[in-house]
Amino acid sequence: MSAKIPSVSMVLAAGLGKRMRPITDTIPKPLVKIAGKTLLDWGLDSLAEAGVDKAVVNVHYLPDQIVAHAASRIAPRIAISDERDGLLDSAGGIVKALPGLGAEPFYIVNADTFWIDEGKPNLTRLALAWDDERMDILIMLAALDQATGHFGGTDFLVAPDGRLSRARGAPDGLIYAGAAIIHPRIFAGATATPASLNRYFDEAISAGRLHGMQMQGSWITVGTPDAIAPAEAAVKRALAGVQ
């Protein structure tokens, strides 16, 4: 039986991007360009390639710029979740957007990281790995040697059956690569107040229902202006490798 590709995604684009100043004094971080393409479009293009029909993009900081930019896209179809009245953090933003995300599992994608696929698109691979009976959350992971611009430790350890636990920087751990599939049932009863996805990750770990899949290719995060040049060099290397 073939996997069902989620038709909807949440794109987390409401952050302040403080570490990207002074660039983000005038533009929101998701509109920072890497190799001629905005961070937001890197993510949206990956969603379009995976067959996603609709992306809900949340906005807060300099929101009109993101709204105008998103309006220029054909695919995926963009809906805006407006957080101008107050930032809701990653989980709170998703809860606010739930009416537009539906009752089926959906992708979430961070608008400030992206990746270059190697082989089958990673979002498609993620959907193929999804098992509704065993999982509430399935996250995409990257090894340290796949990452550019990451200066922290590792996030998760992967058990032989794919279940995750916190790595707490362990050298054999993997990094959360800013994309996941989530079933909306985990937000039952939640209200749209500021809350982090880490709370839901930990709850899923406790239930044995947080799973992970290592991506194929290169993962790139851009945290500061100094990270732009290494990111562009990484894109050039990665694209040369897949052509």
Is 62 domain-assigned? yes
Is 22 domain-assigned? yes
Per-residue pLDDT band for 146 (boundaries 50, 70, 90) equals very high
> Is residue 81 helix, strand or coil?
strand
- Give me the phi and psi of 52, to 5 degrees please: -70, 130
Is 3 domain-assigned? no
- 102: domain CATH number? 3.90.550.10
Is 124 domain-assigned? yes
Residue 12: closest CA among 45, 51, 44? 44
Structural domain count, the chain? 1
- The residue type of 176 is Y
CA 152 remoteness from chain centre: 17
Is 29 domain-assigned? yes
Radius of gyration, alpha carbons of the chain: 17
Neighbours of 144 (CB within 10 A): 15
What gap in Å lies between CA 118 and CA 227, rounded to an integer?
Answer: 22
Q: What's residue 53's pLDDT?
A: 93
Contact 116, 217 (CB under 8 A): yes
The reported pTM is: 0.91
Contact 15, 29 (CB under 8 A): yes
Q: What percent of the chain has pLDDT over 70?
A: 98
> Is residue 129 helix, strand or coil?
helix
Boundaries of domain holding 209: 8-242
Q: Look up residue 50 and give its two tokens.
A: 């995976």
Give 96-134 pLDDT, tens digit per residue. 999 999 999 999 999 989 999 998 999 999 999 999 999
Q: Look up residue 96 and give its two tokens.
A: 């606010």
The angle that helices 39-50 and 63-71 make with each other, rounded to 10 degrees, is: 40
Q: Which of the 8 DSSP states describes residue 38?
A: E
Is 127 domain-assigned? yes
Give 68-102 pLDDT, tens digit per residue. 999 988 999 999 999 998 888 989 999 999 999 99
> Is residue 218 helix, strand or coil?
strand
What is the β-pairing status of strands 54-59 and 8-12? parallel
Going by C-beta distance under 8 Å and a sequence separation of 6 or more, which residues neighbour residue 1?
A: none
Give 59-70 pLDDT, tens digit per residue. 999 999 999 999
Give 154-194 pLDDT, tens digit per residue. 999 999 999 999 998 888 899 999 999 999 999 999 998 98
Q: Which of the 8 DSSP states describes residue 2?
A: P
